[in-house]
Amino acid sequence: MDRRGFLRGVGGLTLGAAVAGCGTAQSAGGPVTVEVWHGQTDTGKKVLDELVAGFHRTHPGIRIDLGGGVLADAMLQKVTAALASGSYPDIAYVFGSDLANVARSPQVVDVTDLVDAGPGFWGPAREAVTVNGRVRAVPALLDSLAVVCNKALFEKAGLPLPEAGWRWSDFVATAGKLTDPGGGVFGTAWPATGDEDTVWRIWPMIWDLGGDVVAGRGIGFADQGVRALEVVRDLAAAKSVYLDPKTGSEQMYQAFESGNIGMVVTGPWQLPDITDAGIDYAVVPLPSFSGRPVTISGPDTWTLFDNGEERVRAARTFLSWLAAPAQDVRWDIGAGSLPLSPQTKNLPAWQEKTAETPGLPAFVDALEHARVRPMHPAYPQVSAAIGTAIVAVLLGRATPADALRDCAAAANAALIIPR
């Protein structure tokens, strides 16, 4: 299950007095049905099913229909078509990077008060559901990026494990020393599909250099992007980076879990598989140019749609229940995600989980320094442009300067179009 397989459970604390209490959403004709398009499979669906069963036991006036029949990766297209036809769910699991486009629909419910009354979400989670100053969804997932290191390969290469404050130049040098062509070992890896999995690893570099994704009606990384792409170029030139050509990065992670990659930039979702593979690993913060801590979080959302007052009230009740720490910690432990709030982090059950999972606290600590991608409707076009640039540099088809020039032309053209 990749990072897109996560959503968030919860219960115990309510999300605010404005939300209807147990059973109050029941209509005169029986329980109110809330249709949820969740997009989850395997472990994610199993945990969600269990949580919904618990919700039904305490909320007899509401029935949650976990339908939709579409994976989370296809949710934007499914929801867009549903809104156009006028037949849409009450709640959908929408990626954070897609929310700005979905939120343009007048059918998306403003949930500012609901989130304000919540458990005190981490900053990145709150930022990821805010579009033009209004909260347009409830946080559903929270993660962060760090570097997972294969301790055996570091020991074999005679290298100490990296420490907080290391630089990208250290990362490049370390990757080169870990690489062993004869043994089939690469120092690191990078997705090479040009999609969002390729892209979101570059933004912490750009933010650290003082750039931004969008600045006004153009990109905010014309200079910083070149510097970031130079790191990509150096890794490729040294032949120390494994390039995964398939969507989902499965080959990259399989290679790491087979002991053929020394370092991988990833999130907490990968730790269960790495543990199951028997890899002795350590987690260290992302390197930076400045020495200051910086990372990215890619939160996803529960977006609520207006199907009438009764169903909106029932959907709000369910979402408030989903965002409370007691169920949140059940989801985190069951599916390997991060707590939505410091309240969940401080629960004994989560503390026990971190004690038995090496490296997990590093991802939670990183949330203090995490940023999120902008809630801009043209972000998908900007992402596609920088994704193309990254792949061109990884494959040696363009210099960083040339690749960034082409990226800027495409991205700026998308940003000047009124949306």
Q: 248 and 349: one domain? A: no
The string of DSSP codes covering 119-168 is S---HHHHHHTEETTEE-SEEEE----EEEEEHHHHHHHT-PPP-TT-BH
Q: Measure the N-to-C terminal CA separation of the chain; round to a whole number of Å.
A: 34
Decide if 188 contacts 264 (C-beta within 8 A). Answer: yes
pLDDT tens over the chain, length 419 residues: 344 333 222 222 233 333 333 344 455 568 999 999 998 877 778 889 999 999 999 999 999 999 877 888 889 999 999 999 999 999 999 998 899 999 999 999 999 999 999 999 999 999 999 999 999 999 998 899 999 999 999 999 999 999 999 999 999 999 999 999 999 999 999 999 999 999 999 999 999 999 999 998 899 999 999 999 999 999 999 999 999 999 888 999 999 999 999 999 999 989 888 999 999 999 999 999 999 999 999 888 999 999 999 999 999 999 999 899 998 898 788 766 799 999 999 999 999 999 989 999 999 999 999 999 999 999 999 999 999 999 999 999 999 999 999 999 999 999 997 65
Dihedral angle of Cα 256, 261, 263, 266, to the nearest 10 degrees:
-30
| Residue 340 CB-half CA count within 13 A | 36
- Same domain flag for 159 and 291: yes
| Joined tokens for residue 367 | 């949330």
- The token duo for 22 is 């147990």
* 221 and 286 together in one domain: yes
- Are 278 and 213 found together in one domain? yes
Residues 409 and 277 in one domain: yes
Specify whether 190 is located in the same domain as 303.
Answer: no
Domain co-membership, 126 together with 69: yes
* Boundary of a domain, candidates 337, 355, 371: 371
Residues 166, 83: one domain?
A: no
Residue 183 structural domain: 146-296+378-415
pLDDT attached to residue 333: 82
The CATH number covering residue 26 comes to 3.40.190.10
pTM above 0.75, yes or no: yes
* Structural domains in the chain (count): 2
Pair 14, 65 in one domain:
yes
pLDDT at 19: 34
Which pLDDT belongs to residue 197?
A: 92
Please check whether residues 125 and 203 belong to one and the same domain: no
Asked whether residue 77 falls in the same domain as residue 116, the answer is: yes
